[in-house]
Amino acid sequence: MPMKTHIPIEVIKLEDASYHIMVKARFGKKVQGNLIIDTGASKTVFDQSLGTKLKVKMEEVPDQDSSGINAIIPHAFQGEIERFQIGELKLKNIISVFLDLSHINQLYEKYTNTQITGLLGSDFLVSHKAVIDYTHKKLTLSYKKRGS
């Protein structure tokens, strides 16, 4: 039977009638970060500064077609995140894409004091059967219990 985790979301107002949904995550043992749920993005990406902080060995990958907020960014890097946790969902040795998200963080600095660590794209959301509940401000993810 699949397990479920419920993660609090924060609805961030950037401009009039412009909102982003943010969740908190943990990387490695000590690094915490903020992720934007980007349902229009085909792939989950993380900021290069996170890769540097986690000492991830990053290798440049060819430009890839994508969609959503991260569609126009060249110079993608790939590396492995040893530990990634969102809610009760714990993942290990995740091959990840890293981009320079400074343009997104500049936008956020204009409206909030929040730094963005990455964007949760449809690849992650679909694979974990994500449900966004705006009324109760939570993200529900499904996953298999370890060992089952």
Domain 3-143 class in CATH? mainly beta
Q: What is the pTM of this model?
A: 0.87
In which band, very low, low, confident or very high, does the pLDDT at 38 lie, cut at 50, 70 and 90?
Answer: very high
Q: What is the edge-to-edge ordering of all strands in the sheet holding 3-8?
A: 3-8, 138-143, 131-133
pLDDT at residue 69, as a whole number: 47
In which band, very low, low, confident or very high, does the pLDDT at 145 lie, cut at 50, 70 and 90?
Answer: confident
Which one, of 96, 123, 78, lies nearest residue 33 by Cα?
A: 96
In which band, very low, low, confident or very high, does the pLDDT at 71 lie, cut at 50, 70 and 90?
Answer: low
